[in-house]
Amino acid sequence: MRVFISSDMEGTAGVVDWSQCRPPGAAYEAGCRLLLAEVNAAIDGCADAGADEVLVNDSHGLMANLPPEQLHGRASYASGRHKPLYMMERLSPDHQAVLFVSYHGSMGSNGVLSHTYNPRAISEVRLNGTVAGEAGINGLVALGHGVPVALVTGDQVTIEESRPWFPDAVGVVVKESVSRYCAESLHPELARELIRSGAAEAIQRVQDGGVSLPHIGLPATLEVSWLTADMAELVTTLPGSERAGARTVTFRDGDPVRLYRRFTAAISLTRSLVES
């Protein structure tokens, strides 16, 4: 059984500040250690349930946050910037399960370190009319490849936001958000135990046929609210886009992977308009 893990960072137990997520510095190095242990717990859980191959796609920041030689289970590791499929790079129809580890809530939510892809460009994204965080948006690629999302880990906001898209997935809450910069985290050892058991349960559910594909109706619509009208104007140059307001652009497509790629292209385009 082949498993795909997309690992972010803000949803890790004990991580509550940007300094823990952005290099350089001791706080970032500590955040990387905490993340590595949670990813390894997920890998161990997959192995416990019989998975024999795991691919970890580093999906955070510069996408090179984990020491490859310290990944468990001889997991392969997709790292580095400018991935065509971004947080879902290297997922294929040959995988049987997708796991989202250390994910976070959407921009505007009360989740810890909440944002949606680029916090300096996006104020909100709605998928088929429902507010979506990165988990829901990334579910487009899972749907396109016919692979179920079986596990989501992070704070309680993240798990709740993911339910409309992945109702059969195991949700592991490793911290309770108090505000965007405050949370009550489980002890890291307990968080890892829960992730390991949650991953094992998730893989078993997939093997038993108990996890459906992402519940995303097609053709799907992404409604993206940008921080400035200039950003909205720029992304309307992309195929399949339509201006829906001064700062809002919609993308609609029957191919969920193509829709996702248009969204990530819009993210890349707007980086040139972000003010420092």
Are the CB atoms for 74 and 40 separated by under 8 Å? Answer: no
The answer to whether the predicted template modeling score (pTM) of the entire model surpasses 0.95 is yes
Residue 272: phi and psi, rounded to 5, are -70, -20
Residue that is written with structure tokens 């949606």 in the block: 116
The per-residue pLDDT for range 49-103, each reduced to its tens digit, is 999 999 999 999 999 999 999 999 999 999 999 999 999 999 999 999 999 999 9
Is there a domain that residue 85 lies in? yes
Q: Which residues of 201-225 are buried (b: 16+ CB within 10 A; e: fewer)?
A: bbbbbbbeeebebbebeeebbbbbb
Banded pLDDT at 166 (limits 50, 70, 90): very high
Is there a domain that residue 117 lies in? no
pLDDT score recorded for residue 274: 83
The per-residue pLDDT for range 228-271, each reduced to its tens digit, is 999 999 999 999 999 999 999 999 999 999 999 999 999 999 98
Banded pLDDT at 128 (limits 50, 70, 90): very high
Is there a domain that residue 253 lies in? no
Give kind and range of the element (H or E) at residue 198. helix 188-207
Cβ count near 182 (within 10 Å): 12
User: Average pLDDT, whole number, for the chain?
Assistant: 97
Domain region containing 198: 2-105+135-207
pLDDT score recorded for residue 271: 87
C-alpha dihedral over 8, 14, 17, 20, to 10 degrees?
A: -60
| 3-state SS, residue 201 | helix
pLDDT score recorded for residue 134: 98
The per-residue pLDDT for range 215-224, each reduced to its tens digit, is 999 999 999 9
Domain containing 199 — which CATH number? 3.40.50.10780
How are strands ordered across the β-sheet holding 97-101?
76-78, 53-58, 2-7, 97-101, 149-155, 170-179, 182-185
Is there a domain that residue 195 lies in? yes
Are the CB atoms for 194 and 174 separated by under 8 Å? Answer: yes
Within 8 A by CB and 6+ apart from 101, the residues are 5, 6, 7, 8, 11, 38, 39, 42, 151, 153, 195
Is there a domain that residue 251 lies in? no
* Cα dist from 226 to 18, 44, 230, 256, whole Å: 22, 39, 9, 21
Is there a domain that residue 261 lies in? no
The per-residue pLDDT for range 187-199, each reduced to its tens digit, is 999 999 999 999 9
Banded pLDDT at 47 (limits 50, 70, 90): very high
Are the CB atoms for 99 and 3 separated by under 8 Å? Answer: yes
Is there a domain that residue 225 lies in? no
Q: Is the dihedral of CA 37, 153, 13, 68 positive or negative?
A: positive
Is there a domain that residue 112 lies in? no
Cα angle 89, 60, 256; round to 5: 40
Count of the separate structural domains present in the chain? 1
Banded pLDDT at 124 (limits 50, 70, 90): very high
